[in-house]
């Protein structure tokens, strides 16, 4: 996970860190008046927001009092790391607290390790169909999961080292330990050696992320019931695997292990795989999974997990009654919980809702000088979503007028084929009262897809009638997770199908399918 991928510059110039300077006590009342542009007239005072006055006054008091850092960021995942580096690049004194490894779940136990394994499996798939490219491979092909894991760890270690180097170069102070809030800019840090310290800062950014959870049913504590963290370290391919949940985690691990020869079954409580995605995408994904010899059962509510003589048995309530599925291992891919326990949110008076930190559009909590980003404000999100929120909060702290738009967040599934979406589906647009239609184009009509031997799937563009404004896109097919970015930019800029249809795309490329779909929407 190179930080440049999240919009943070990898500076080769001299480090831009500034030492912590304790300013002389200011003349508080005149500074507050200047900050808020107070008028002596009653009309001027009447236009002020009382909460803003109090918050500005509190921040000025903190700035005038001795403090250890301008900003303390808690959590070094994509959001926290991006935020800390951007702030340090702009001269802020920044501490980044992390109890494990820099990069968070994304780099160490999520995005990067799973995609590294998927790349290995992708190479295996390509070798297995090499005959169709006119290449004969003699002898048996033996995938080596242990060696794949070695490569995965090397990739993760290299990217982690890059992140650590960049943080050091710009002057971020990385503190290893566990932080909790004390209120009024105070933080308690328990270092990894057990020593407790107290820190103070003008601003605090909470970016503690989330952790995998297990269903509240009997049997989840049995040996062989794994979370995504644990299955990522397997070095022996299981003979049979049951995956609970058909979201991003579930379908990606199913794709990995099915290709390695594991008899794989997905059980999904909802009525379709990839819950929340476009219905056509869901049907095509289910068909693709089944073509890969993955058994899929939807509308299957897991009741319990039992120990058997040969492994585990998952009992589900389905439309056909109670059914049992057996395997050696069971993967819980059913959700995540926010990492806020022990964070001291109540000490700082921070509002939460069902364990989720409540924030405004700019990432500010109700507590002065405290911000929150990433999974801790929504439980389940995307790494790129946390990263751009980190940039937005950094801008707010720096007082920079930001043009960052977080409305259009691509959803990406790295399967065979890939799936990606952004914006509205047709059904969502109609539910919102919009008159919309779909332009659809299949990859079998795309020259580059045919040359690659991978021409399954399609693109759907949702377009508002009349104005022609793009509302969303859903893609299943080769390089879907790359193609979706062009549509995300177009949505941000308020582009129309006509503009996309008229945009010149190089030939032959996979991206040519996008203007083709736009032209289909205009016909």
For residues 37 and 478, which has the higher predicted lDDT (pLDDT)?
478
Pairwise CA distance, residues 140 & 134, whole Å: 18
36: which 2 tokens? Answer: 């808020």
pLDDT of 33 over the 80 cut: no
pLDDT at position 51 is 67
Long-range contacts of 288-292 (CB under 8 A, 24+ apart): 288/415, 288/416, 288/417, 288/456, 288/476, 289/251, 289/254, 289/255, 289/415, 292/255, 292/258, 292/259, 292/416
Pairwise CA distance, residues 251 & 274, whole Å: 8
Judge contact between 103 and 159, C-beta under 8 A: yes
Pairwise CA distance, residues 331 & 300, whole Å: 15
Long-range contacts of 136-145 (CB under 8 A, 24+ apart): 143/237, 143/259, 143/260, 143/261, 145/234, 145/235, 145/236, 145/237, 145/260
310: which 2 tokens? Answer: 């040969």
In sequence order, the β-bridge partners of residue 204 are 72, 370
Residues 359-408 have pLDDT tens digits of: 999 999 999 999 999 999 997 899 999 999 999 999 999 999 989 999 99
Close Cβ partners of 399 (under 8 Å, ≥ 6 residues apart): none
Longest dimension (CA), the chain: 89
The side-by-side arrangement of strands in the sheet containing 295-297 is 225-226, 329-332, 240-244, 263-267, 295-297
Pairwise CA distance, residues 81 & 163, whole Å: 8
Pairwise CA distance, residues 139 & 103, whole Å: 40
pLDDT bracket for residue 104 (50, 70, 90): very high
CA 254 to chain centre: 20
* Residue 142 appears among annotated catalytic residues: no
CA 325 to chain centre: 31
Residues 219-242 have pLDDT tens digits of: 999 999 999 999 999 999 999 999
Tell me the mean pLDDT in the region 113-123: 98
Pairwise CA distance, residues 387 & 86, whole Å: 11
Give the mean pLDDT of the chain.
91
pLDDT at position 411 is 97
360: which 2 tokens? Answer: 């405004």
pLDDT at position 64 is 66
Q: 90, 384, 479, 507: which is the annotated catalytic residue? A: 507
pLDDT at position 421 is 98
pLDDT at position 66 is 78
Pairwise CA distance, residues 269 & 116, whole Å: 28
Tell me how long the chain is: 523
Tell me the mean pLDDT in the region 427-449: 97
Residues 54-78 have pLDDT tens digits of: 677 777 766 767 789 999 999 999 9
pLDDT at position 2 is 53
Strand ranges (E), 125-284 = 173-183, 186-191, 196-206, 210-212, 225-226, 240-244, 263-267
How much of the chain exceeds pLDDT 70, in percent?
A: 88
pLDDT of 469 over the 80 cut: yes
Pairwise CA distance, residues 207 & 75, whole Å: 5
Pairwise CA distance, residues 515 & 502, whole Å: 7
Q: How far is CA 340 from CA 149, 282, 335, 375, in A?
A: 31, 33, 16, 10
Q: Could you please report the per-residue DSSP string of 263-295?
A: EEEEE-SSSSSSTTS-HHHHHHHHHHHHHTT-E
Residues 9-24 have pLDDT tens digits of: 444 443 333 333 333 3
Judge contact between 374 and 386, C-beta under 8 A: yes
Query: Tokens 């601003």 label which residue?
Result: 203
Tell me the mean pLDDT in the region 170-184: 96
pLDDT at position 49 is 67
23-37, 82-96, 367-381 — most confident range:
82-96
Tell me the mean pLDDT in the region 210-223: 95
Pairwise CA distance, residues 92 & 21, whole Å: 10
Residues 128-156 have pLDDT tens digits of: 999 999 999 988 899 999 999 999 999 99
H or E element: which one contains 230? helix 228-231
Query: Tokens 């995408």 label which residue?
Result: 281
pLDDT at position 45 is 44
Measured from the Cβ of residue 123, the count of other Cβ atoms closer than 10 Å reads 12
């Amino acid at each position: 996970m190179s930080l440049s991928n999240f919009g943070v510059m990898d500076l080769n110039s001299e480090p831009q860190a500034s030492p912590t300077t304790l300013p002389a006590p200011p003349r508080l009342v005149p500074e507050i008046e200047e900050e808020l542009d107070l008028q002596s007239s009653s009309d001027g005072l009447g236009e002020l927001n009382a909460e803003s006055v109090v918050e500005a006054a509190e921040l000025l008091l903190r700035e005038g009092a001795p403090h250890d850092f301008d900003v303390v960021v808690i959590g070094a995942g994509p959001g926290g790391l991006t935020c800390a580096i951007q702030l340090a690049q702009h001269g802020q004194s920044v501490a980044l607290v992390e109890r494990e490894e820099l990069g968070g779940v994304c780099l160490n136990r999520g995005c990067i390790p799973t995609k590294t394994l998927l790349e290995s499996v992708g190479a295996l798939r390509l070798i297995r169909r090499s005959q169709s490219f006119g290449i004969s491979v003699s002898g048996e092909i033996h995938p080596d999961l242990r060696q794949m894991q070695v490569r995965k760890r090397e990739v993760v270690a290299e990217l982690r080292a890059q992140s650590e180097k960049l943080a050091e170069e710009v002057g971020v102070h990385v503190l290893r330990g566990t932080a909790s809030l004390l209120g009024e800019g105070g933080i308690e840090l328990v270092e990894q050696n057990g020593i407790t310290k107290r820190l103070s800062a003008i601003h605090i950014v909470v970016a503690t992320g989330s952790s995998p959870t297990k269903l509240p049913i009997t049997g989840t504590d049995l040996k062989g019931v794994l979370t995504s963290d644990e299955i990522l370290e397997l070095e022996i391919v299981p003979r049979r695997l049951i995956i609970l949940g058909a979201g991003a985690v579930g379908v990606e691990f199913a794709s990995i292990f099915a290709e390695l020869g594991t008899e794989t079954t997905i059980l999904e409580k909802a009525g379709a795989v990839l819950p929340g995605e476009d219905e056509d995408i869901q049907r095509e994904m289910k068909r693709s999974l089944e073509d890969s010899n993955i058994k899929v059962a939807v509308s299957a509510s897991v009741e319990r997990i039992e120990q058997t003589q040969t492994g585990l048995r998952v009992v589900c309530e389905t439309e056909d009654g109670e059914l049992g599925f057996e395997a050696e291992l069971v993967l819980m891919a059913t959700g995540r919980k926010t990492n806020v326990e022990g964070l001291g949110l109540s000490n700082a008076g921070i509002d939460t809702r069902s364990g989720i930190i409540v924030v405004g559009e700019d990432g500010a909590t109700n507590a002065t000088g405290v911000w929150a980003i990433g999974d801790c404000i929504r439980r389940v999100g995307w790494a790129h979503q946390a990263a751009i929120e980190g940039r937005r909060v950094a801008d707010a702290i720096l007082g920079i007028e930001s043009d960052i738009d977080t409305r259009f967040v691509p959803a990406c599934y790295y399967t065979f084929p890939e799936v990606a979406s952004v914006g509205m589906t047709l059904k969502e647009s109609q539910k919102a009262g919009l008159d919309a239609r779909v332009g659809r184009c299949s990859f079998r009509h795309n020259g580059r897809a045919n040359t690659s031997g991978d021409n399954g799937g399609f693109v759907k563009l949702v377009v508002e009638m009349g104005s022609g404004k793009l509302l969303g896109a859903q893609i299943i097919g080769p390089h879907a997770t790359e193609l979706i970015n062009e549509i995300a930019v177009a949505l941000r800029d308020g582009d129309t199908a006509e503009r996309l249809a008229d945009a010149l795309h190089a030939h032959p490329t996979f991206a040519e399918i996008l203007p083709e779909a736009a032209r289909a929407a205009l016909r």
